[in-house]
Amino acid sequence: MIRSVIIDDEFLARERLKKLLDDQEDIEIIGEAKNGKLGVELIQNKAPDLVFLDIQMPDLDGFGVINRLNKVPHIVFTTAYDHYALKAFDIHALDYLLKPFDESRLNDTLKLVRDRMSTEKSSQLASQMKSLLKTFDTPTGQFRKSFIMKERGFEVEIYVDDVIYMEAQGNYVKLCTEQKDYLFRIGMNILESELNPQHFLRIHRTYILNKHWIAKQTYQGNNEFKFVLKNDFEVSSSRSFKKHIAEQTSDH
């Protein structure tokens, strides 16, 4: 029996996957978690053989979950977004499921898992997972170049430099450009870590500004700054970001 858990912040996604797995006689669902942090605890407490792990979650993404584990079980990544990095998952060490996936695609994945579990020790898999994870670490000087998302069935690429500012909206971030606004599913803290700090400035837990679009910056007192962007958008910073802003905007 393959003891499995599901980690996904979307309730309906978890329910659909459980339904698809009902007919798999050797798959036993021993738990589920609605976010990455609870997922880490679940894996540590239950020690499952297999984890169906969502990649983009607001508090702690799939990569963050793996980073917090001392022993990594077999991982099948799940995601609703065909990001460029997902191409790296298409190897025999593990698999990914692009939502919405069907029963046939799931069966292909489970065959890979069964083959792997019958031929490899968990320690070997853990080593492979850690090595794969390194391919997603951002090297010094290399940052996110674009956002790739689906719109009406088509893939749309938004270049980072074209984004005027970014605003957190629940589990999403609004990307404001000259043409229109887009919603991209990612946590604000994760997004900030992927952006070049020479070009982007976090001024608030809700806002990240493109420095090239800052037209005016004034200190308002009480540890707050006011920013006016070239598109006339105005926003004030959070007091907790005063030191960070002062260090990053000495030229304004």
Place of tokens 């609870």: 38
The mean-pLDDT minimum among 138-142, 164-168, 169-173, 188-192 falls in 138-142
Give me the chain's average pLDDT, please.
84
CB 194 within 8 A of CB 138: yes
What domains can you pick out in the chain, each with its CATH number? 2-134 (3.40.50.2300), 146-248 (2.40.50.1020)
Rounded CA separation 94/117 (Å): 11
* pTM (two decimals): 0.50
Residue that wins the pLDDT comparison between 65 and 132: 65
Structure tokens at 62: 């799939």
Please give the pLDDT value at position 91: 35
Tell me, what's the pLDDT at 160? Answer: 92
Average pLDDT over residues 230-239: 94
The sheet with strand 27-33 has its strands ordered as 27-33, 2-7, 50-54, 74-79, 95-98
Rounded to a whole number, what is the distance in angstroms from the first to the last CA of the chain?
A: 62
User: At a CB cut-off of 8 Å and minimum separation 6, what does 239 contact?
Assistant: 222, 223, 224
What is the token pair recorded at 154? 């088509």
Assess whether pLDDT exceeds 80 at residue 250.
no
**Close Cβ partners of 168 (under 8 Å, ≥ 6 residues apart):** 174, 188, 205, 206, 207
pLDDT average, residue stretch 227-232: 94
